[in-house]
Amino acid sequence: MLELSNVRAGYGAINVLWDVSLAMQPGQLTTIIGPNGAGKTTLLRAIMGLVPLKQGQITLHGKRLDGTPTWDMADRGLAMVPEGRMVFRDMNVEENLIMGAFNKAHRAHVNTRLEAAYDMFPRLRERRGQLAGSLSGGEAQMLAMARGLMSDPKLLIVDEPSLGLAPLVVNELFGILARLKAEGRTIVLVEQNTERALAIADHVYLLQGGRVALSQPAAEVSLAQLHDLYFNH
């Protein structure tokens, strides 16, 4: 579905990704793990057109994706839930959700998708008129995820959803990811909680120093093996 071939990307003169090749299969959850500074977020930004490629290509269903402006990604079927729970703080919950269906092609489905979002995240229904800036960290992460789903993406990219959240909220979020996967949605997950990521993933990529150090079905990966790769490089 989504393929990266020999991708190099970075910021100005600083290169972060080195000849990265990945493939995400439809209906699967692919997790990308690795230590801080490994290039995980840069990889997601490259997919979304926020960081230009210096080499290689990215294709979606066999068609070139790299070079597509970020604001056209929703029309190509992609949505990203960024790290850091980026919500529109001065807008209420429902206004934030509506922004997720801002593109013209999705506006006709706003009401249906709002109901689906509130069914999936009942707490957001209770907070629908509340300013996003007053939400707890967990509620803000739920809002960011629900907003990402408002365009009904074919590919959902989620960056560090559990970061800084209480264990109960993390359980809830991973339950939502499991439900989305069971519904057949294709998901790319970057996550520091390796054990949780492995438990939910179909395929695992380990990034190390901007390169792919491991590519393996999740069921075949051991935490001990990952620990060795993390710390022995």
- Give 163-197 pLDDT, tens digit per residue: 888 899 999 999 999 999 999 999 999 998 888 99
Domain ranges of the chain: 2-231
Question: pTM of the full predicted structure?
Answer: 0.89
Classified by CATH at the fold level, domain 2-231 comes out as Rossmann fold (3.40.50)
- Give 63-109 pLDDT, tens digit per residue: 999 999 998 998 899 999 988 778 999 999 999 999 988 766 667 67
Q: Is the dihedral of CA 211, 216, 217, 222 positive or negative?
A: negative
Contacts of 202 (CB under 8 A, 6+ apart): 25, 28, 29, 30, 217, 218
